[in-house]
A and B are shown apart, each in its own frame.
Chain A
Amino acid sequence: DTAVSQTPKYLVTQMGNDKSIKCEQNLGHDTMYWYKQDSKKFLKIMFSYNNKELIINETVPNRFSPKSPDKAHLNLHINSLELGDSAVYFCASSQGIAGRGYEQYFGPGTRLTVT
């Protein structure tokens, strides 16, 4: 199936731990994104990569570090997890240059719970 996939789907961990979320897209897209959706369903961009280069970084704490090993993958590593990091994290991708108004395709989400 062509899609954006994320692993894991659920992640429960304790404060202070370090965790990673992986994202892969097989749509042949050039641009990938990470979003955070809080408990009130508010959705906010965290990072955007175009051809493995960081192009958007929306004042996210530096405990969050994205890594794009190639155009098809964008992983999110989180250090020293805090209670406020609990949320659903969505990966997305879009075709071509980010500024051209291409629609984004979203993964199923990773529900992170920090206890």
Chain B
Amino acid sequence: AQSVAQPEDQVNVAEGNPLTVKCTYSVSGNPYLFWYVQYPNRGLQFLLKYITGDNLVKGSYGFEAEFNKSQTSFHLKKPSALVSDSALYFCAVKTPGNTPLVFGKGTRLSVIA
């Protein structure tokens, strides 16, 4: 069975500093990996995904993530955090075929001015 771990419930970072939100996964086979963001009282918004190819993927709002197969990780990064980046971030994984998208428990990012 596939699973996702987001080891940090909360990440605090100062505005302008780089940020990292961690994600590790467990699947049988090749993973499709996703990051989503949820602002208060809103639905999830897609940020970026890794399907195949270049291990470094770039997404919306200046976010990027690096697929590391040996460490089974897909950490989300941004070089310079904004206060408006404060939100709940979800990592998710699925495998090819009619399999469900499995979400991590979410990491709350707080960017302090």
Contact = CB atoms under 8 A, between A and B. Distances in A.
Interface residues of A, number: 26
A40 B94 contact: no
Contacts, number: 58
A99 B98 CA distance: 5
A99 B32 CA distance: 10
Interface string B74-113: 0000000000000010100010111111110110000000
Contacts of A45: 100-102
A99 B97 contact: yes
A107 B44 CA distance: 8
Give the size category of B's interface with A. Answer: 20 to 34
Interface in A25-69: 33, 40-45, 48, 50, 55-56, 58
Nearest to B108: A41
A4 B43 contact: yes
A101 B99 CA distance: 10
Interface of B: 32, 34, 36, 38, 41-46, 49, 51, 88, 90, 94, 96-103, 105-106
Contacts of A48: 98, 100
Contacts of B88: 41
Interface of A: 4, 33, 40-45, 48, 50, 55-56, 58, 90, 92, 98-101, 103-109
B82 to A, nearest CB: 22
A115 B100 CA distance: 31
B98 A90 contact: no
Contact of B46 (A40, A55, A105, A109): A105
Given A40-B105, A42-B105, A43-B90, A56 B43 contact: no
A96 B101 CA distance: 15
A106 B44 contact: yes
A4 B42 CA distance: 12
Contacts of B94: 101
Contacts of B46: 103-105
